[in-house]
Structure formats: structure tokens, C-alpha cells
Amino acid sequence: MKFFNLNQRRPLSKLLTAITAATAVTLAAGASTAIAKKFDGVTVNVMTFTGPQIAEPLQRHAPAFKELTGATINIITVPYSDLYSKLLTDFVTGTNSVDAAVFAPQWLVDYADPGYLEDLSSRVAKDTALDAQDISPFFRSFSTQYQGKTYLLTLDGDFHMIYYRTDVLKAAGLKPPKTWDEYLAVAKAVHGKDMNGDGKADYGSCISKKRNAQAYWSIMSIAGGYLQGQGTGQGAFFDTKDMKPLVNNDAFAAALTIYKDTGKYAPADEINLDVGDTRGLFTSGRCALTLDWGDIGTLAIDPASSKVVDKVGASMLPGSTKILDRATGKLETCTTKTCPYAVDGINRAPYAAFGGWSGGVNATADEQVKNAAYDYFSYVSQPAQSNADVTKGITGFNPYRLSQFNDMDKWLAAGMSKGAAQNYLGAIKDSLSSPNMLLDLRIPKNQNYQGVVLDTAIARFLAGEINVNQTMETIEEGWNELNEDLGVEDQLRLYKATLGQ
Amino acid sequence: MQTHKMNVKRKRSFGEMLDQASPKLLILPTVLIILFLAIYPLLLSAYLALSRFKLVRGGFELKFVGFRNFKKLLFGSQEYHFLGTVGEILLWEWLLIVIVIAALCRWMFRYLRSAKVTVVGTLGRSVTLVVFSALTVLAFAVLNGTGYPGSLMITLFYVFAGVSIQFVIALGLALLCAQNIRGKNFFRMVFFIPIMVTPVGIAYAFRMLMDMSQGPFSPLWTLFGLGEFSWAADASMARWVVLIGDSWQWIPFLFMVLFAAIESQSKDQVEAAQLDGAGAWRIFKDITFPAIAPVAATAVLIRLIEAFKIIDLPNILTNGGPGIATESMTLHSFIAWRTQDLGGSAAVGYSLLFIAVVVCVSFFNFIGQKTQPKGA
């Protein structure tokens, strides 16, 4: 077999054309590589939690960002329970192997106060592509700022809400719950019914209750409506007079009882379920009710994994007809004076739990690395990327831009019906605009208050180790001890500052 | 004489001095490395246990707080976590406690009346007496169904129940494999595999295996009506699942050591006993076990030390839950460290070190030494 036929005669013009074309392609390629990009040779190590949520969009956008700027984005993931300490250890020990991170804005105070995070205020002010004014004021200020300076860029908007199966409730002649007593009644009424047609009995309620995971916000979602009636500035964690924890009273006892009672209509291993597990159960059609962040709304419309497409409703957190009298520690029926924001006598306090994943930059990184890290977070947050990301369940990003609440087209294109989109976005908007919104704890070492003391006591309570009173005493003792360790006056001052007092 | 000595000193050359000092000089690097890698961290963590770690602008601050971290564990907000929640001790339980403590006191009394009394021996035995008496009371107070164990008693459960079960099963397997059976080498290899798997891998494998509703055995569980049962929600069951996983990993270690000991024992005595008509149990009790006892004691001691450090299985299988039902002391310490409570974490670590040393030294002195051949 001959590869070249030397005897074959080719026209000279063809040969010249081929040579010219090849030369042109080579020159063009050379020219494109010759154009220096802004961050050529810069590598940014970004740490976040093991996905797929959050890590997925960060990894997915990295190649496009490299194409644009030349910067290599290296995403490092660690389990959620390790993220806080991994970052802190890296900063404190001066290892500084992490150039930037995407984490809970609750931890901002612990990272920003010692000076580990870069002040991004001037960068944000100059960044027109970010369109910062389009970010909801709550996420733009409360979630990203510390002592008036901006340290984080918002990538996600978070609120706890409840989700319900519209078809199941309709078939049972029930309405979405507005109070936690109604939540239990609905869960009880539908528990044991087959909700996904597989012939098996399904569950009335599925709430993630796993210890050392992301479950410890749930108790405050229930307690909020009993504890806070005077608006956002009142707060629900401590008494702003003396920093006394508001966890040993009739309101918290009622919340604990409800929380435990939801387990009567739940999977047997609910105590060991993480949020990913309950989301899987809900989208596979096995639960009538659940308590979660905005993720369920978008996960439910993914036809590849969801059996509940267009069968899911969302609602602001239920509330209570009773409110805590902080002087006596007893529950009193809501009045216009004690619950000025109550509707139909029901006081609701939508909980801005967690606050939305946000990106911060290590203050000790090289200037070019800091610039590249900031630009990357800005790129991910810009409407062109973010508007699409918030409609995909896998991203873990929930709406946080004003345009994302108003522009229905993106949601319809993502597969949500108009009614479902209005319902889902309406629930978040209602929460976001509530004058009685419950702010998350943002004082130093809040991770110890919530992630250790509260989480452990709740886990023991759910496991039956301790009763309601012992649980409340344990949390109160633990929080008081932390207050004393860190300085009661300092903690009170910072707590009041987060509430705008 | 004085003048003569000084003259001798003056005559020593530099080479002689170097030669004399060479042993010290040669071991100096090793000593320094050991000091740096072992003693220094030990001292630093001791200081940490007596301090409070706080982040401040530009770094961190360690504030000396005395024994506050230990006080918190034994009498303060972490008492439930470390010691457990004390339940009601019934009369018969008190009687058992009194019997155990009386036995310990008798043992101490016999030692004091013996001819081998030493200051160190008395001190060591006094510590053992106090620690074991306290642990006995605590065990009855938190494990009798009315209380709840803390990480201390949970760790001791993994140590004593785990190592006992593992020893019995490993001994049984070793005795079986020591018989003239076909495929002996194959079984030896198969039994050894689990120890080569990383503990994290074992934990994840067990997590999958023990998933009653979606795991590979779920059809079997469902067949037995256990499809909706969750071991993870039951404190006692969860502890046993952790213990089963731990046993699966560590039985091979004990098996290999015991098997080697059985194989190396003298066959003459066994054959002589068989000729005399001794049964299998008698041969095991009077010949095999005494022969392998020194090796077995050493293997158990190593296993005891290792068992005190259990963390991977409870961390991955249950996150220490339900509640704190499966949380070992190492996991307790790790969780405290994870939330920057470095002082609390070090205090738990030092408590673990103290208990482990008391238990292991007691085992070595009172069981390990008795297994040594007489005259050794």
C-alpha cells in the first residue's frame, strides 16, 4: 500500500493555496496566544463545602473564567462540618493555602474581626458588572458587611420555608399550614398514604435532623413565631437588656415539643437524615411536607430526578397565635400590641437561616490573586451567570437578586409552571419583605452557640436522652457560659448591633 | 594526689575528650528530635488544656485559665458530655458496686501486707483503686437504663466490650485455622483483608450495609419486617453497630497474632496429652492457652491502646449520634477542636491519655505479667 504516489502530478496552485492556508492558521493561533490576559499564570485556591451544591457552579464556571481572564480557579472541597475550622486554621496558623472561600456569612465576624478577610468595599463600589444594586438589600448589607465594610460577595439567598405537596393536600381537602399546630395536623392527616404511586406508605413530614450537619437551624424556624413579635429588631436569641438566652421559657418549650412531634409522621431514621437525604425523599415523592431552604423549589422541577414536578407549593414559615411574654416567660395570646405584624392573629417570623453562601478573599494573598479571586466571585454573581444558576437545583444557589424575583421567563424556561414560579418566588419575597423577619445569629463564635451547644442539646433531646426542660437548661447553661467566656457586655453590644439597635 | 589528678586531666587530648563525649554527641540529634516531636507537643497541649484559645486581630491569644476546662468536663456544662447523665442507682446495684470496690480494696490490702511493697507500687495501685472504683460507680449510674453515658463510658464500652468480643472471635478463628483443614492459607488471607482497608472506607461500607431501606441488604431487612426500622435512632443499637464495624476491622489483627502463637507452640505436649486421653477443651485450657497467653496479652494490650482512639467509625456512621450515644472521647475532642475550643479539646485528650494509661498499665501489671512464664 502506498501512502504517497510520487508519480501523481498536483497543480501548483493547489499546493500554494494549501501552504498559504496553513501559514494563516498558524499565524492566527500565534496571534491569539500572544494577547496577554489579565490574570495569566494566576491560580486561585478557593475552598468551599463538598457539593454537589455550591461546589458545582463554582467548578462549572471556572473554565469560562479562565478563558476570559487567564486565571486558574482551583476549587477545594471539605465536608460542611469541617469548613469553619479548616478555614480558620488556615488563616490563624498563617498557612494561607486558601486564597478565597465560599462559606456561611454567619462566620464573617470570626474571620473579619481578626483581619483575615480582605475589605472588598472599594472593589464592589467600582464593579459595574456586578450590578450590586440588583442584589436584595438584605443580602447586600446584612450578609456581606461587618462594621460598615463589605467583606463578602453574595452568591446565594437563603431563607427557611416550608414546602408541601399540592396534589396530596388537595386530595385530602387540606390547606397549606399557617401555624405549626396546623403543620402537625396536616402531617398527621396524610401520613401513611402512598404519595408517589409505588404502593408504599409515605410520610407526612421529612425534616433533616442530623447532628453535626445543617439541621440546627430548624428549631429556631419553629421557635421564631413564638419568640419574636415586635419586628426584626427585637431578635429571638437573647434578651437585648441583659444577653439572657431566650431558650428557657414556654415559647421554646412549645417549639421543642412541635419539633419532636414532627418525627411521629416521619421516616424512622429521620434523626440521621441530612438535608440532602430529606431533599431526595421529598423530590422522590415520599413526603407531604418539609422544612428547607430555597433548594427544593428548583430541585423539584428537574425531570431527571424529581417525581413531583409541578406538584410542589412553598410557603413562608408557619407561625403561632401565641407569643412569649419575656417578663414572665409564659406564652400569651397575640394582640395587636404584642404581635403588631400578625395576620389573622398569627404571628410569623420568617427565618433568614444561614444567610446565603458568600465568597470572601484572604487578606494575605498576593494582590493579583486577590484581584482574580474577587473577579471570579463577581463573575459568578453577575446576572448573566447567576440568573441561570438560581433556577437549577444542583447549584444550591437560591434567588437573591431583585431581577430574579421579577423576571418570570427564566423560571418558565427552567421548567416551572407560572403558578409554581409565582408561588415559590412569592414565598421567598414574603419572607424577605417581612417586617418581622428573624435574623440569624451573627455574634463571635456563633458556630459554638448554634453548631455545638444548640445542635448537641437538640440531638440529645430528639434521641430521648433529655426532656424538654433539661434541653432548655442545657442550652441556656451552654450559651451563658459562652457569653461569660467571651464577655457578656461585648457579646451584647455586638448582638444589638446586628439587630440595628 | 590532688596534683596528680590535675596533671592527668591536663594530659587528656582533644581527641580523647571527643571520644569520651561521642556517645552523648551521637545520640543528641535523636534526643532533640524526640523532644521536638513528642515532648514539646505533649507539653504544649498540656498548656492548651489549661488555657482558653481566642482569636484576636492579627492572630490568636492563649489565656491561662487553670483547671477550668477540666472543671467544665467533670462538674460544669460539659459534664453530661464527658461523664454522662447520672440515673437512679437501685439498691442491688449499690450492692454490686460495694462488692467490686471491696474486692479492689482486698487486692490493695493484700499487696500492702506482702513483702514486695514499694512506694511506686503503692502509688500506682492507689490510682488504679480510685480510678476503677469511680468508673464502677459511674458505669452503674449511666448504663443502668435510667441515665445516659457520656463519651468516657462510651469509649470504655468500645474498649472493653469491643476488645473482649474481638479476642474471643479471633481466638476461635485462629483455633479453627490451626486445624488440618483444606484451604487454610486461603482463609488466613481472607481473614486478614479487613485490617488493610482504611477505617474510613470500612465506615462508609458499613454505613451502606446498615442502611435498612436502601442498602444492599434492604430486601432482606424488609423480608423480616425491618425495612422501616432504624438502628441509627436507637442509642444502644447504634453503639453496637459501631462496635460490629470496629470488630470487623480489628479481629484480623488479633487473629493473625493468635494464629501465629498457636502454630508456634510445642506439638510434643499436645500429642502427649492426646495420648493420655485428654479432651480438646482440657488441652486448650491447660496447654494451648498458657502457651499463647504471653503473646495474647501483648496483642490485647496493643488492641486496648488502639481501641481508646476510635473515631472514624462513629464519626462517619452516626456523627456521634443519636444524641451523643456513639461519641467516643477522641470524637468528643475532635468536635471541640473543630469549633476552635482548643482548650476543651486538649482537656478531653489529656483525660483520655490518663484513663488509657491507667487501664493499660493496670492490664500490663496485673494480667500481662501473670501470663509470663515463671522464672522469666
- Count the neighbouring beta carbons within 10 Å of the beta carbon of residue B60: 15
Q: How far is the alpha carbon of A245 from chain B, nearest alpha carbon, in Å?
A: 15
Q: What is the pLDDT of residue A4?
A: 39
ipTM of the complex model: 0.75
Across chain B, how many H-helices and E-strands are there?
A: 19, 4
pLDDT tens, residue by residue, B200-240 = 888 888 888 877 777 788 788 878 777 677 777 788 889 99
Range of the domain at A217: 161-353+436-498
Cβ–Cβ < 8 Å for A243, A491: yes
Q: Is the pLDDT of residue B3 over 80?
A: no
Q: Name beta bridge partners: B239.
A: none
Does CATH place domain B81-86+147-371 in 3.40.50.300?
no
Q: What is the pLDDT of residue A501?
A: 73
Q: Determine, for residues B235 and A465 on separate chains, whether the beta-carbon distance falls below 8 Å.
A: yes
Q: Determine, for residues A445 and B58 on separate chains, whether the beta-carbon distance falls below 8 Å.
A: no
- Of residues A155 and A92, the one with the higher pLDDT is A155
Q: Determine, for residues B232 and A110 on separate chains, whether the beta-carbon distance falls below 8 Å.
A: no
Q: Do residues A140 and A167 both lie within one domain?
A: no
> Is residue A403 included in any domain, yes or no?
no
pLDDT tens, residue by residue, B49-107 = 999 887 776 677 888 999 999 999 999 888 999 999 888 889 999 999 999 999 999 99
Read off the DSSP letter of residue A117.
B
Q: Name beta bridge partners: B55.
A: B60
Q: What is the pLDDT of residue A497?
A: 85
Q: Is the pLDDT of residue A294 over 60?
A: yes
Q: Do residues A130 and A272 both lie within one domain?
A: no
Q: What is the pLDDT of residue A203?
A: 96
Q: Determine, for residues B324 and A212 on separate chains, whether the beta-carbon distance falls below 8 Å.
A: no
Going from N- to C-terminal start, the domains of chain B cover 2-49, 81-86+147-371, 90-140
pLDDT tens, residue by residue, A76-86 = 999 888 898 88
Per-residue pLDDT band at A30 (split at 50, 70, 90): very low
pLDDT tens, residue by residue, A58-78 = 999 999 999 999 999 999 999
Per-residue pLDDT band at B376 (split at 50, 70, 90): very low
Instruction: Determine what percent of chain A is predicted with pLDDT higher than 90.
Output: 73
**For range A212-241, the mean pLDDT:** 94
Q: Is the pLDDT of residue B356 over 80?
A: yes
- Of residues B374 and B295, the one with the higher pLDDT is B295
Q: Do residues A204 and A345 both lie within one domain?
A: yes
**For range A210-236, the mean pLDDT:** 93
Q: Determine, for residues A464 and B323 on separate chains, whether the beta-carbon distance falls below 8 Å.
A: yes
Q: Is the pLDDT of residue B338 over 50?
A: yes
Radius of gyration of chain B (CA): 26
Q: Do residues A170 and A218 both lie within one domain?
A: yes
> Is residue A223 included in any domain, yes or no?
yes
Domains held by chain A: number: 2
Residue of chain B nearest A476, judged by CA positions: B77
Question: Of B60, B318, B324, which is closest to A272 when you measure between CB atoms?
Answer: B318
**Model's pTM, two decimal places?**
0.81
Q: Is A463 on the interface with B (CB under 8 A)?
A: yes
Query: Which residues neighbour A346 within 8 Å (Cβ) at sequence distance 6 or greater?
Result: A178, A179, A225, A318, A319, A320, A321, A334
**For range A435-442, the mean pLDDT:** 94
> Is residue A492 included in any domain, yes or no?
yes
pLDDT tens, residue by residue, B282-329 = 999 999 999 999 999 999 999 999 999 999 999 988 888 888 999 999
Query: Which residues on chain B are in Cβ contact (under 8 Å) with A469?
Result: none
Query: Which residues neighbour B185 within 8 Å (Cβ) at sequence distance 6 or greater?
Result: none
> Residue A485's closest CA among B45, B77, B346?
B77
- Of residues A5 and A456, the one with the higher pLDDT is A456
Q: Is the pLDDT of residue B4 over 60?
A: no
Per-residue pLDDT band at A20 (split at 50, 70, 90): low
Q: Is A460 on the interface with B (CB under 8 A)?
A: yes
Q: Is B327 on the interface with A (CB under 8 A)?
A: no
> Residue B213's closest CA among A211, A164, A282, A270?
A270
Q: What is the pLDDT of residue B372?
A: 66
> Is residue A235 included in any domain, yes or no?
yes
Q: Do residues A136 and A169 both lie within one domain?
A: no
Q: What is the pLDDT of residue A31?
A: 46
pLDDT tens, residue by residue, A400-409 = 999 999 888 8
Q: Enumerate residues 230 to 289 of chain B having a beta carbon within 8 A of any beta carbon in chain A.
A: 230, 232-233, 235
Cβ–Cβ < 8 Å for B255, B174: yes
Cell 456563633 sits on residue: A446
Query: Which residues on chain A are in Cβ contact (under 8 Å) with B55?
Result: 88, 92, 110, 113-114, 444
List, as one string, the DSSP characters of B158-207. IIIIHHHHHHHHHHHHHHHHTSS-TTHHHHHHHHHHHHHS-HHHHHHHHH
Q: Is the pLDDT of residue A11 over 60?
A: no
Residue of chain A nearest B315, judged by CA positions: A212
Q: Is the pLDDT of residue B1 over 50?
A: no
SS3 of B156, please? helix
Across chain A, how many H-helices and E-strands are there?
A: 21, 13
Q: Determine, for residues A85 and B340 on separate chains, whether the beta-carbon distance falls below 8 Å.
A: yes
Q: Is the pLDDT of residue A3 over 50?
A: no
Q: Do residues A326 and A376 both lie within one domain?
A: no
> Is residue A26 included in any domain, yes or no?
no
Q: Domain with A249 in it: what CATH number?
A: 3.40.190.10
List, as one string, the DSSP characters of B291-303. HHHHHHHHHHHHH
pLDDT tens, residue by residue, A104-122 = 998 998 898 888 999 999 9
SS3 content of chain A, % helix, strand, coil (to 5): 45, 15, 40
Q: Is A113 on the interface with B (CB under 8 A)?
A: yes
Q: Is A464 on the interface with B (CB under 8 A)?
A: yes
Q: Do residues A141 and A174 both lie within one domain?
A: no
Query: Which residues on chain A are in Cβ contact (under 8 Å) with B320?
Result: 211-212
For residue A363, give Cα distances in angstroms to A98, A109, A115, B56: 11, 15, 7, 15
Q: Do residues A316 and A282 both lie within one domain?
A: yes
> Is residue A378 included in any domain, yes or no?
yes
**For range A354-370, the mean pLDDT:** 95
Q: How far is the alpha carbon of B235 from chain A, nearest alpha carbon, in Å?
A: 7
Q: What is the pLDDT of residue A483?
A: 95
> Is residue A196 included in any domain, yes or no?
yes
Q: Do residues A98 and A176 both lie within one domain?
A: no
Number of A–B residue contacts, CB under 8 Å: 116
Q: How far is the alpha carbon of A160 from chain B, nearest alpha carbon, in Å?
A: 24
**For range A265-276, the mean pLDDT:** 90
Q: Name beta bridge partners: A78.
A: A49
Q: Do residues A120 and A261 both lie within one domain?
A: no
Q: Do residues A76 and A170 both lie within one domain?
A: no
For residue B64, give Cα distances in angstroms to A54, A439, A479, B67: 40, 35, 21, 9
SS3 of B321, please? coil
Q: Is the pLDDT of residue A482 over 80?
A: yes
Please tell me the distance from the alpha carbon of residue A130 to that of residue A151, in angstroms, as a whole number.
15
Q: Is the pLDDT of residue A358 over 70?
A: yes
Please state, rounded to an integer, the average pLDDT across all residues of chain A. Answer: 90
Q: Determine, for residues B85 and A466 on separate chains, whether the beta-carbon distance falls below 8 Å.
A: yes
Q: How far is the alpha carbon of A174 from chain B, nearest alpha carbon, in Å?
A: 27
Among A161-165, B262-266, B272-276, which range has the highest average pLDDT?
A161-165
Query: Which residues on chain B are in Cβ contact (under 8 Å) with A454?
Result: none
Last residue of a domain, one of A373, A395, A417: A395
Query: Which residues on chain B are in Cβ contact (under 8 Å) with A210?
Result: 319, 321
Please tell me the distance from the alpha carbon of residue A438 to that of residue A226, in angstroms, as a whole number.
11
Query: Which residues on chain A are in Cβ contact (under 8 Å) with B335?
Result: 212, 452
Q: Do residues A192 and A240 both lie within one domain?
A: yes
Q: Is the pLDDT of residue A198 over 60?
A: yes
